[in-house]
Homo-oligomer: A and B are copies of this chain.
Amino acid sequence: MRPKIYLFGDSITEESFGDGGWGASLSHHFCRTVDVVLRGYSGYNTRWALKVAEKIFPPVESGGAPPLAVTVFFGANDACLPDRYSAFQHVPLHEYKQNLHSIISFFKKRWPEIVILLITPPPIDEDARLRYDSNTLALYIFNKVYRNLVKEITLKFCRHPYIENPSGLPERTNEAAGAYAQACISVAKECGCPVVDLWIKMQECPDWKQAYLSDGLHLTQAGNRIVFEEVVKELKEKGISVENLPVDLPHIANIDPQDPLKAFQDC
- Give residues in A with beta carbon < 8 Å to B: 1, 14-15, 17-21, 23-25, 27-28, 31-33, 35, 37-38, 40-44, 47-48, 51-52, 54-56, 58, 63, 88-89, 141, 145-154, 156-157, 160-161, 241-243, 247-249, 251-258, 260-261, 264, 267
Contacts A48-B264, A63-B63, A252-B145; is A24 near B17 (CB within 8 Å)?
Answer: yes
> Which residues of B are found within 8 Å of A63, using beta-carbon distances?
63
Contacts A28-B17, A63-B63, A255-B43; is A33 near B247 (CB within 8 Å)?
Answer: no
> Which residues of B are found within 8 Å of A267, using beta-carbon distances?
51-52, 54-55
- The SS class assigned to the A binding surface is loop
> Which residues of B are found within 8 Å of A160, using beta-carbon distances?
253, 257
Chain B nearest CB, measured from A265 CB (Å): 9
The complex places the Cα of A27 from the Cα of B15 at a distance, in Å, of: 10
A-B contact pairs, 14 of them (CB 8 A): A14-B31, A17-B25, A19-B19, A19-B20, A19-B25, A43-B252, A43-B255, A48-B260, A48-B261, A51-B267, A55-B249, A55-B267, A149-B251, A150-B247
The complex places the Cα of A44 from the Cα of B157 at a distance, in Å, of: 50
> Which chain B residue has the least Cβ–Cβ distance from A42?
B252
- Structural contact, A17 and B31, CB atoms closer than 8 A: yes
The complex places the Cα of A148 from the Cα of B246 at a distance, in Å, of: 11
